[in-house]
């Protein structure tokens, strides 16, 4: 067995090194996700308890703090999060300033807690990856026998990002795959896959210890029927087209704010104003559905066939969530795209399911699992089409909804990805606005 001079055998050193790193990084990343989600939940409860139109002022207040305070201290602590993670891995060897991570984490809590439309996954890539980068740099100094290499820094960042995504999505395997698949347009970085999976499982476990184990969303076994397949294919095509529309619209809004550089920190404020106006405009039409904030409760309700969402309401929520998210994130507010993309895909799949399953009725449980199968197609399709993660999309769907939904998710992911693969949202985020 090959040996380092006076140290551990090389294979043993590698195993111990990544076992220690992955567990520590995963634990820290999972804890950070819990802190962010808890902060957002508390601010959200306070905001929604206010009377009349007051809750719709808060997204603007969040934009003011982000744009005029955080953005001026560190412009890198803005935008979607995942592009900064990608650039740090590809161009900076996994290095990310700790100040950027701390400010971005604070900005995410304020943006989502005050009602800005976005998700947790993109931010989790950044501050989870930042946690991996930070821990590696500290441990490298303290633990010389494990022969830490400078090149390992980027793998440590991948581990942190995977752990953050796993905790944010309750998908311990899908999170690790997402973190390596999102790095490149046409390949997966296998070198970071196995340490990343160990870290993502750890991140998920620590997060679940803090929040509770069990399925995050409604689950039931799908009684598969071959007659459903044509409907799945049609839904996947719709998801692919919707993914292209989302990316093209996002690019136009992003480019608009990018051209307004002279606005400086007022750009996040302007985007937050549009988000607030969309939320206010739909407040009387979307029922209990919400386009503001992360929309977690609305997402859960859409996934539960025992709840009540008429098709017109789903269409309004889909349009509103798309516009509010595009302006929130496109203007530079720190929030993610993945959660809203999944929510939009769920609504599109639910609309298609309502149309293609004549005997389905919300609130009755009738046709419930088949309807959720259409939702799985829509979510996997949108995720693959917009973010270029077709493998992670299928794995995440099976972890979130159950393994019986694997075939619908695979059909949605493959077909929508094939339709929309030339339009990937992250390639437009090489430079934050």
Tell me how far apart the alpha carbons of residues 265 and 263 are, in angstroms, rounded to a whole number.
6
- As a whole number, mean pLDDT of residues 359-380 equals 70
Residue 366 φ/ψ, nearest 5 degrees: -70, 125
Which candidate, 419, 413, 395, 418, places its Cα nearest to that of 232?
413
Which candidate, 353, 359, 333, places its Cα nearest to that of 408?
353
What residues form DSSP beta bridges with 9? 3
Tell me how far apart the alpha carbons of residues 35 and 22 are, in angstroms, rounded to a whole number.
20
**Is the pLDDT at 418 greater than 60, yes or no?**
yes
**Is the pLDDT at 6 greater than 50, yes or no?**
no
Distance from the first to the final alpha carbon of the chain: 52
pLDDT of residue 189: 63
pLDDT in tens, 255-296: 898 888 888 888 999 999 999 999 888 876 655 557 888 887
Answer whether 309's CB lies under 8 Å from 346's CB.
no
* Predicted model pTM: 0.86
Kindly state the percentage of the chain with pLDDT values over 70.
84
**Both tokens of residue 21?**
């790193």
Residue 30 φ/ψ, nearest 5 degrees: -60, -35
Tell me how far apart the alpha carbons of residues 206 and 160 are, in angstroms, rounded to a whole number.
13
pLDDT of residue 359: 58
Q: Using 50, 70 and 90 to split pLDDT, how confident is the model at 431?
A: very low
**Is the pLDDT at 382 greater than 90, yes or no?**
yes
Residue 141 φ/ψ, nearest 5 degrees: -75, -35
Residue 174 φ/ψ, nearest 5 degrees: -60, -35
pLDDT in tens, 167-191: 998 888 988 888 888 887 655 666 6
Q: Using 50, 70 and 90 to split pLDDT, how confident is the model at 297?
A: confident
- As a whole number, mean pLDDT of residues 311-319 equals 87
Instruction: Give 226's contacts (C-beta < 8 A, 6+ positions apart).
Output: none
**Is the pLDDT at 1 greater than 50, yes or no?**
no
**Is the pLDDT at 429 greater than 60, yes or no?**
no
**Both tokens of residue 280?**
């206010």
pLDDT of residue 363: 42
SS (H, E, C) the chain: CCECCCCCEHHHHHHHHHHHHHHHHHHHHHHHHHHHHHHHHHHHHHHHCCCCCHHHCHHHHHHHHHHHHHHHHCCCCCCCCHHHHHHHHHHCCCCCCHHHHHHHHHHHHHHHHCCCCCECHHHHHHHHHHHHHHHHHHHHHHCHHHCCCCCHHHHHHHHHHHHHHHHHHCCHHHHHHHHHHCCCCCCCCHHHHHHHHHHHHHHHHHHHHHHCCCCCCCCCCCCCCHHHHHHHHHHHHHHHHHHHHHHHHHHHHHHHHHHCHHHCCHHHHHHHHHHHHHHHHHCCCCCCCCCCCCCHHHHHHHHCCCCCCCHHHHHHHHHHHHHHHHHHHHCCCCCECHHHHHHHHHHHHHHHHHHHCCCCECCCCECHHHHHHHHHHHHHHHHHHHHCCHHHHHHHHHHHHCHHHHHHHHHHHHHHHHHHCCCCHHHHCCCCC
pLDDT in tens, 43-95: 988 887 877 777 888 889 989 998 888 888 988 888 888 888 888 888 888 88
pLDDT of residue 364: 40
Kindly state the percentage of the chain with pLDDT values over 90.
33
Q: Using 50, 70 and 90 to split pLDDT, how confident is the model at 38?
A: very high
User: Of 24-28, 120-124, 138-142, 206-210, which gets the smallest average pLDDT?
Assistant: 138-142
Q: Which domains does the chain have, with CATH numbers?
A: 10-211 (1.10.3080.10), 226-428 (1.10.3080.10)
**Is the pLDDT at 204 greater than 80, yes or no?**
yes
């Amino acid at each position: 067995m090959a040996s380092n001079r006076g140290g551990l055998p090389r294979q043993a050193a590698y195993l111990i090194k990544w076992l220690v790193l992955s567990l520590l990084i995963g634990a820290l990343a999972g804890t950070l996700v819990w802190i962010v989600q808890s902060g957002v939940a508390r601010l959200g409860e306070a905001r929604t308890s206010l009377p009349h139109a007051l809750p719709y002022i808060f997204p603007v207040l969040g934009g003011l703090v982000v744009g005029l305070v955080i953005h001026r201290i560190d412009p890198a602590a803005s935008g979607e999060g995942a592009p900064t993670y990608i650039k740090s891995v590809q161009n900076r060897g996994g290095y990310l300033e700790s100040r950027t991570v701390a400010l971005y984490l604070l900005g995410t809590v304020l943006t989502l807690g005050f009602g800005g439309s976005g998700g947790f996954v993109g931010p989790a890539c950044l501050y989870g990856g930042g946690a991996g980068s930070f821990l590696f740099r500290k441990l490298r100094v303290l633990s010389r026998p494990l022969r830490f290499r400078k090149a390992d820094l980027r793998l440590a960042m991948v581990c942190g990002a995977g752990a953050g995504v796993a905790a944010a999505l309750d998908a311990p395997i899908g999170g690790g795959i997402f973190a390596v698949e999102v790095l490149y347009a046409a390949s997966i970085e296998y070198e970071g896959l196995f340490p990343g999976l160990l870290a993502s499982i750890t991140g998920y476990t620590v997060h679940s210890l803090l929040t509770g184990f069990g399925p995050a969303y409604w689950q039931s076994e799908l009684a598969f029927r071959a007659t459903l397949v044509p409907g799945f294919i049609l839904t996947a095509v719709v998801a692919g087209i919707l993914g292209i529309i989302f990316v093209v619209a996002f690019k136009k809004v992003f480019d608009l704010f990018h051209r307004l550089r002279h606005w400086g920190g007022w750009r996040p404020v302007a985007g937050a104003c549009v988000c607030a106006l969309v939320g206010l405009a739909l407040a009387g039409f979307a029922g209990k559905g919400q386009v503001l904030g992360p929309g977690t409760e609305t997402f859960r309700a859409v996934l539960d066939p025992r709840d009540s969402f008429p098709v017109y309401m789903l269409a309004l929520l889909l349009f509103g969530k798309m516009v509010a998210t595009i302006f929130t994130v496109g203007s530079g507010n720190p929030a993610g795209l993945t959660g809203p993309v999944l929510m939009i895909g769920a609504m599109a799949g639910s609309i298609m399911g309502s149309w293609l399953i004549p005997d389905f009725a919300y609130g009755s449980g009738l046709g419930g699992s088949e309807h959720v199968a259409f939702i799985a197609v829509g979510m996997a399709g949108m995720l693959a089409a917009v973010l270029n993660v077709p493998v992670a999309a299928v794995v995440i769907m099976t972890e979130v909804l159950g393994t019986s939904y694997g075939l619908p998710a695979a059909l949605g992911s493959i077909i929508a990805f094939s339709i929309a693969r030339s339009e990937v949202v992250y390639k437009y985020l090489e430079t934050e606005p």
